[in-house]
């Protein structure tokens, strides 16, 4: 039978499009975005757009536990400082060992490099006091940055960030201190003011055969005079303040490709302070210029390695928080996904068993 073209009943019906999914509420969206920063393989434009905002979100805010939509578990199980510190117990033990090693290196006698009469031309600079005292270096390079870490913790409430920042900067300065003092003792280079350390009264005495110095000054002052290379003030300053520069670069997203030079000035400010401390060591005639250059490179390299051990690179899209923060979020998401897996109920299992028994009884009746 021919079908009339005007017969609408014979037309093929098209499938109806499913309505668009409901848009989540802003509060839930923010919380989910915050917990999804550490996930991998997400290509959703919505997740990508919310990642930068979620990275700045405070983990202290929470949603009602009974709210719909399934709030991620990582929003409610925040780690505590004692728990995080216990998980890094061996790292803290390593810090104590570094302290003991640094103390031991300061107690042993450094190598006494030969100093002859002809070498005194570059070693007769006057004895001056330190422009930056030795006790001020830990305050500037360690305690000062720690205060900044605490201020950011009070604002953002991220335990991993505070713990790893403190642990990282302590590792940076202590590893730098051990390397610096070990090189000092091994090299034994005399300081620019070695003449006045060796001959405090100005009367030089040399060996008649080797023309080597015969010092009659204070043994402790002479011992310190053989520790010129590299500069400890400089290496410590660049280790602590260099770590702070890395930390600030991640927090203010200095490498966001938006061209904000003001952010770069904030990052370079700690390095400027470290450079001024290094220059003061040359001005005080406690170090040669090679000493401060080597100390600065040594401290900055160690600071960079220690920072990248705990934090992503500031140019990374996840450079705001430490690695452990994203690992914690990923673990919580895995626990939540395992907890949501459907489990067979006891009632359903019992009902199924009862039906099987009834079917088996019916078969026996038929036989």
Q: pLDDT per position in the chain (367 positions), as tens?
A: 454 444 544 444 444 455 555 444 433 333 333 343 333 333 343 443 343 344 444 333 333 333 444 444 344 356 788 888 888 899 999 999 999 999 999 999 999 999 999 899 899 999 999 999 999 999 999 999 999 999 999 998 889 999 999 999 999 999 999 999 999 999 999 999 999 999 999 999 999 999 999 999 999 999 999 999 999 999 999 999 999 999 999 998 888 888 788 888 999 999 999 999 999 999 999 999 999 999 999 999 999 999 999 999 888 877 778 877 777 777 777 777 776 655 544 444 444 555 556 555 555 555 5
Range of the domain at 242: 83-111+134-190+227-325
> From CA 189, how far away is CA 86, in angstroms rounded?
42
Task: Give residue 345's pLDDT.
Answer: 45
Alpha helices (H) in 188-255, listed in sequence order: 194-198, 219-225, 232-251
Domain presence at residue 47? no
Q: Do 198 and 119 form a contact (C-beta atoms < 8 A)? A: no
Catalytic residue among 233, 288, 325, 328: 233
The reply to whether 321 falls in a domain is yes
d(Cα 91, Cα 163) in Å, to the nearest integer? 12
Q: Is 233 a catalytic residue?
A: yes
Cα 120 from Cα 213, distance rounded (Å): 9
Let me know if 287 is a catalytic residue.
yes
How far apart are the C-alpha atoms of 332 and 344, rounded to whole Å? 24
- 352 falls within a domain: no
Q: What is the pLDDT of residue 257?
A: 80
Does the residue 138 lie in any domain? yes
Domain count, the chain: 1
Q: What is the pLDDT of residue 138?
A: 96
Domain assignment present for residue 21? The answer is no
Angstrom CA distances, 290 to 105, 182, 191, 230, 231, stand at: 22, 17, 11, 8, 9
Residue 106 included in any domain: yes
Residue 261 lies in a domain: yes
What's the whole-model pTM score?
0.71
Q: To which H or E segment does residue 306 belong?
A: helix 289-310
| Residue at 178 is within a domain | yes
Kindly state the tokens that stand for 275. Answer: 């450079």
Q: Which listed residue (163, 164, 287, 288) is catalytic?
A: 287
């Amino acid at each position: 039978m021919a079908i009339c073209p005007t017969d609408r009943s014979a037309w093929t019906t098209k499938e109806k499009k499913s309505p668009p999914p409901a848009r989540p509420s802003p509060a839930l969206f923010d919380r989910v975005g915050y917990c999804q920063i550490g996930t991998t393989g997400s290509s959703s434009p919505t997740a990508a757009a919310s990642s930068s905002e979620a990275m700045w979100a405070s983990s202290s805010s929470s949603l009602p536990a009974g709210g719909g939509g399934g709030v991620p578990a990582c929003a409610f199980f925040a780690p505590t400082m004692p728990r995080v510190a216990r998980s890094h117990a061996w790292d803290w033990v390593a810090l104590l060992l570094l302290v003991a090693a640094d103390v031991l290196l300061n107690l042993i006698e450094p190598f006494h490099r030969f100093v002859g009469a002809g070498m005194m031309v570059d070693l007769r600079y006057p004895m001056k006091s330190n422009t930056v005292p030795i006790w001020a270096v830990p305050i500037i390079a360690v305690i000062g940055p720690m205060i900044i870490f605490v201020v950011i913790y009070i604002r953002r409430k991220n335990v991993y960030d505070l713990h790893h920042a403190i642990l990282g900067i302590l590792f940076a300065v202590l590893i730098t201190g051990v390397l610096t003092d070990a090189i000092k003792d091994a090299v034994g280079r005399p300081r620019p003011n070695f003449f006045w350390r060796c001959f405090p009264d100005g009367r030089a005495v040399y060996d008649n055969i080797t023309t080597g110095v015969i010092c009659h000054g204070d043994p402790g002052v002479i011992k310190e005079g053989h520790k010129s290379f590299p500069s400890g003030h400089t290496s410590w300053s660049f280790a602590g303040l260099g770590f702070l520069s890395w930390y600030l670069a991640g927090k203010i997203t200095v490498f966001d490709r938006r061209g904000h030079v003001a952010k770069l000035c904030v990052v370079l400010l700690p390095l400027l302070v470290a450079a001024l401390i290094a220059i003061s060591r040359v001005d005080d005639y406690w170090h040669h210029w090679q000493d401060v250059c080597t100390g600065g490179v040594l401290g900055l390299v160690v600071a960079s390695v220690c920072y990248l051990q705990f934090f992503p690179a500031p140019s990374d899209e996840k450079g705001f928080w430490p690695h452990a923060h994203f690992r914690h979020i990923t673990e919580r998401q895995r626990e939540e996904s395992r907890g949501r897996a459907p489990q067979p109920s006891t009632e359903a299992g019992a009902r199924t068993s009862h039906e099987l028994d009834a079917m088996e009884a019916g078969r026996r009746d038929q036989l």
